[in-house]
Amino acid sequence: MAFGVPWLAADPNSVIERMSLGEIAALHDAVPPGLAVRVNTSLLYPPQIPSLIGLQDIRYFDHTGLIRHRTIGDLMRYAALVQGAVRFDRFLDFRAHDPLLDPSTQMRYSDEQLYALALYLYSLKPPPNPNKFDARAKRGQEIFESEGCGTCHTPPLYTNNKLTPAKGYVPPEGQSTQIVIFYVWKQTRAWRWRRAKERGITRCRPFAACAIEVPSATTGQRPR
């Protein structure tokens, strides 16, 4: 369930159910650094791990902007959701667990633990930049400015902190007044996504594994 959509007839992840233990292990071993297989993603197409540095300045979590970040309480709830509550997911008539698990048998984070975790994440600072601002960097800055990159990747955060609806999607009436919408159409299969911050991009790995090469479902090989 964690890596599939069993309520769809043509689930691309269903091939994993027919793999041997060795083939599944090979897929895990082939995940490049900087990507992670997590619940509600895919072992075949693991997403990039967003940077935690500067998290306190970001208004939306996840690449799709699924979770709003207004206060430290939102970060605490998000941590609890990702680490434990996802097991109670429900999609239409499909339930991850039916009947629901007995709460007395499940782990629960305390408010104090979640608050301490959130404070730690807020405290993270970027390491010193080892790269000098040379002629190539200056040229890059000129291109960044001349091409209008700052419209979406606005300094100093290098994100405009807004959600962008996909082409053809019209937010429900009143929703655009509740969240910050930025109308720039791009080709995407998601109904909306969060503008990735480019600050610290040299420390980040590829946006997704499929940006390198679609893995073989039988061998799990990806270029290193």
Residue 10: is it exposed, middle or buried by C-beta count within 10 angstroms (0-12/13-18/19+)?
A: exposed
Location of structure tokens 């996840």: 62
The string of DSSP letters for 73-94 reads HHHHHHHHHHHTGGGG-EETTE
Q: What are the residue ranges spanned by the domains of the chain?
A: 1-49+205-224, 52-125, 131-204
Calculate the CA 200 to chain-centre distance: 16
Band of the pLDDT at 140, cuts 50, 70, 90? very high
One-letter amino acid of 211: A
Band of the pLDDT at 47, cuts 50, 70, 90? confident
Q: What is the pLDDT of residues 5-44, one digit of tens each?
A: 666 667 777 788 888 999 989 988 888 888 888 777 788 8
Return the closest-CA partner of residue 59 out of 163, 131, 134.
Answer: 163
The CB density around residue 121, as the number of other CB atoms within 10 Å, is 15
Helices and strands of the chain, counted as H and E runs:
4, 6
Cut 0.85: pTM above it? no
Q: Is residue 187 predicted with pLDDT exceeding 50?
A: no
